Amino acid sequence: MYLRFQEGWEYNDLECTRLWRQWTDFAFSLQSYPTGESIADVLLHTLCWGNNTALKRLALGEYRKNFEAWLKILQSSNPLEAVAKDLYEDEMAYSYTHRAEFLIWGRFLSTTVNSHLALVPISASADDQIVVLSGGKIPFVLRATGNTFKIIGPVMCMVSWMERLFQKRKLRKTWNGLLFAEQRHPSHRV
């Protein structure tokens, strides 16, 4: 597979593998996760946006074995080229590889100020806000531009994070019907 989405930016099997290795190292460097879930569970759902390839919410345990095979290969001590080959040739790991690959283009893994993992658009910056628009179901990155906001793009995160924010009413309502969740952490970007 090969994709060029901006001049100078290329994704191929090797570069996707390199990126996933960096992201898993970054995720597992967190001591714990604020919602109590395991880092592995959060990573599984964040990298596939909590959906399967039919864009339906993951059923309990869906992709679990595929993700575990993917993670085992990715975290092996094998050279990057061998890991990339295994991720794309191993039958069990490939379905998760395919799903995660589809969603990484133009994104990077980041944390919020409260240490929640999120896949955000590559153009997001530390001053941006992660918000849920009034009546919406998914978070977006918004950038303040004077008296208005510019939508940067959707955020991929653990679904339970947003559900808990709604349940506990931690989102604060602001003008124009926006519901602010969290700000990106200024130094956490991989």
Per-state percent for the chain, helix, strand, coil, to nearest 5: 40, 30, 30
**Residue 134 burial (CB < 10 Å; 0-12/13-18/19+)?**
exposed
Clarify whether residues 33 and 94 are in a common domain: yes
The rounded distance, in Å, linking the Cα atoms of 137 and 134 is 9
Clarify whether residues 160 and 96 are in a common domain: no
What is the extent of the structural domain holding 143?
112-189
The rounded distance, in Å, linking the Cα atoms of 93 and 73 is 8
pLDDT at 179: 45
CA 51 vs CA 30, 58, 114, 158, 159: distances in Å: 24, 5, 24, 11, 10
Q: What is the DSSP letter of 51?
A: B
The domain total for the chain is 2
The torsion defined by the Cα of 15, 13, 112 and 123, in degrees rounded to 10, comes to: 70
Residue 81 one-letter amino acid: E
- The last residue of one of the domains, among 68, 84, 105, is 105
Clarify whether residues 77 and 137 are in a common domain: no
Q: What is the mean pLDDT of each run of 10 residues along the chain (190 residues)?
A: 45 89 92 88 82 68 88 96 96 89 83 84 87 77 89 80 54 45 50
pLDDT at 2: 32
- The last residue of one of the domains, among 54, 78, 105, is 105
pLDDT at 68: 95
At CA 127, angle to CA 51 and CA 115, rounded to 5? Answer: 50
**Residue 68 burial (CB < 10 Å; 0-12/13-18/19+)?**
middle
Q: What is the pTM of this model?
A: 0.77
pLDDT at 87: 96
Nearest CA to 157 among 54, 35, 73?
35
pLDDT at 56: 72
Clarify whether residues 101 and 119 are in a common domain: no
Clarify whether residues 50 and 121 are in a common domain: no
pLDDT at 95: 87
The rounded distance, in Å, linking the Cα atoms of 169 and 152 is 24
pLDDT at 4: 37
CA 118 vs CA 9, 91, 101, 114, 138: distances in Å: 21, 27, 16, 11, 12
Asked if 14 contacts 22 with a C-beta cutoff of 8 angstroms, the reply is no
The residues, any chain, with a CB within 8 Å of residue 163's CB and separated by 6 or more, are none
